[in-house]
């Protein structure tokens, strides 16, 4: 299946942000570990979060509901069936979070996933967990899923190299309240995407398991488990970024509601980048509005902590007057697809050339004719970024548009119902 969008200009859009995928994963995990009943309100229902729901059920949590989710927690003691195998499909968050969580199960748990998932590294987390009571071993290639998780998470001192992914740290932190002793985690270097650790700590505190920390290099969690909570998931800045980008490249105004202006989501920085490029950004109590007149300038942006909006910026860059340089992009090669390759292809759709050099990519507008058709290689963020370029210039075909189900099933409906299409 393919989709071809028309070029649009002078848009007036108003869209409600979908719930945050990152917050939904974490709230479900905390609720499943709590001792009692929790309610997760306004969760994201998507392929990725569905993987986590299914996995938690396999581990013994009772999760019901089609809108809000009612979670009967396990008290941090999972009772899985013998031979339990959890398929994480292409959800990297699920795979990494479940690596630590499975050490709370009463039987060994096997974690597997899609062919792409089996190329995404997990060794830094596995190595650390095996010093804290784990007996985890690889079932195929060393350092990569599938894995068999055995042993018990006792806590204690752990060193975790999170330079490739902060999810390694988040995984151990979320299991730590259910450990037998205090867990102290240090990391030898600055974690990647460190703001996601703020999200982890935020959710844990709400469920009664606070994290004591020294910046992003030392974390400690006391044993004692989680307490049940009624938790409302906030709107997602990563998903909202595409609509803000559409305002920038199509000209006009887009308002996105259901956003927390004080959110600790790192992808809020995308609004600052658009303002630097020449857009007008207005933040309200529960909404953000971006207005653009078509005059955009190239910028330099350090995005090592916000990898999920690199592709969105790459979709805006071809419409700017001058090059845009993005640094901190090395880890994009090990996402759902090779997103460095995707940046090059997204830029080419808009008539720009993207030049990659080690940890930097520079996008120079106007060197190519642009247009054509893009295969997103089953990557939801490539599809949504391609939609930005398509609406800004026209003559763009998008293959397999349905892969937005991974993080934002309502994306195409939102374009139509929100006044952009």
Report, as residue numbers or ranges, the catalytic residues. Answer: 308
Which H/E stretch holds residue 197?
helix 195-206
CA distances to 347, 370, 408 from 366, in Å: 10, 8, 31
Kindly report whether the peptide bond that precedes residue 332 is cis, defined as omega within 30 degrees of 0.
no
* Sequence-separated (6 or more) residues with CB below 8 Å from residue 143: 121, 122, 123, 126
Beta strand ranges found along 92-144 (DSSP E): 109-112, 137-138
Rounded Cα–Cα distance for residues 241 and 138 (Å)? 37
Angle at 405 between CA 403 and CA 406, to 5 degrees: 85
Give dist(CA 140, CA 120) in Å, integer.
Answer: 13
Q: Are 92 and 115 in contact (CB under 8 A)?
A: no
Residue 157: how many CA atoms within 13 Å on its side-chain side? 2
3-state SS, 218-229, equals EEEECCCCECCC
- Which residues contact residue 65 at a Cβ distance below 8 angstroms, ignoring those fewer than 6 apart? none
Is residue 67 classed exposed, middle or buried when 0-12, 13-18 and 19+ CB atoms within 10 A define those classes?
exposed
Tokens of 349: 């759709």
């Amino acid at each position: 299946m393919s989709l071809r969008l028309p070029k649009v200009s002078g848009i007036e859009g108003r869209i409600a942000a979908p719930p945050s995928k990152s917050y939904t994963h974490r709230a479900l995990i905390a609720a499943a570990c709590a001792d009692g009943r929790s309610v997760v309100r306004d969760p994201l229902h998507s392929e990725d979060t569905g993987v986590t729901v299914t996995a938690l059920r396999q581990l013994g949590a009772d999760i019901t509901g089609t809108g809000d989710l009612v979670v009967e927690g396990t008290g941090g003691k999972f009772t899985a069936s013998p031979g339990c195998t959890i398929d994480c499909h292409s959800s990297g968050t699920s795979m990494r979070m479940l690596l630590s969580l499975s050490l709370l199960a009463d039987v060994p748990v096997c974690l597997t996933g899609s062919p792409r998932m089996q190329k995404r590294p997990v060794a830094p987390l596995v190595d650390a967990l095996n010093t804290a009571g784990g007996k985890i071993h690889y079932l195929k290639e060393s350092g990569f899923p599938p894995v068999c998780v055995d042993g018990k998470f006792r806590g204690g001192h752990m060193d975790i190299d999170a330079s490739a992914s902060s999810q390694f740290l988040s995984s151990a932190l979320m299991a730590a309240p259910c450990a037998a002793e205090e867990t102290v985690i240090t990391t030898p270097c600055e974690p990647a995407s460190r703001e996601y650790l703020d999200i982890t700590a935020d959710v844990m505190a709400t469920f009664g398991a606070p994290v004591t920390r020294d910046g992003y290099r030392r974390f400690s969690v006391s044993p004692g488990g989680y307490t049940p909570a009624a938790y409302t998931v906030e709107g997602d800045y990563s998903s909202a970024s595409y609509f803000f980008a559409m305002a920038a490249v199509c000209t006009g105004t887009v308002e996105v509601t259901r956003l927390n202006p004080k959110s600790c989501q790192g992808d809020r920085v995308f609004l600052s980048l658009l303002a630097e490029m020449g857009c007008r950004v207005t933040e309200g109590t529960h909404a953000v509005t971006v207005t653009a007149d078509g005059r955009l300038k190239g910028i330099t942006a350090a995005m090592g902590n916000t990898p999920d909006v690199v592709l969105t910026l790459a979709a805006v860059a071809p419409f700017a007057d001058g090059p845009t340089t993005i640094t901190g992009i090395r880890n994009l090669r090990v996402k759902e697809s090779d997103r460095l390759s995707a940046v090059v292809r997204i830029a080419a759709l808009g008539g720009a050339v993207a030049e990659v050099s080690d940890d930097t990519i520079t996008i120079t507008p106007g060197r190519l004719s642009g247009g054509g058709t893009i295969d997103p290689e089953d990557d939801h963020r490539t599809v949504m970024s391609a939609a930005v370029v398509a609406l800004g210039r026209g003559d763009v075909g998008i293959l397999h548009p349905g892969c937005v189900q991974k993080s934002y099933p309502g994306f195409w409906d939102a374009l139509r119902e929100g006044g952009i299409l």
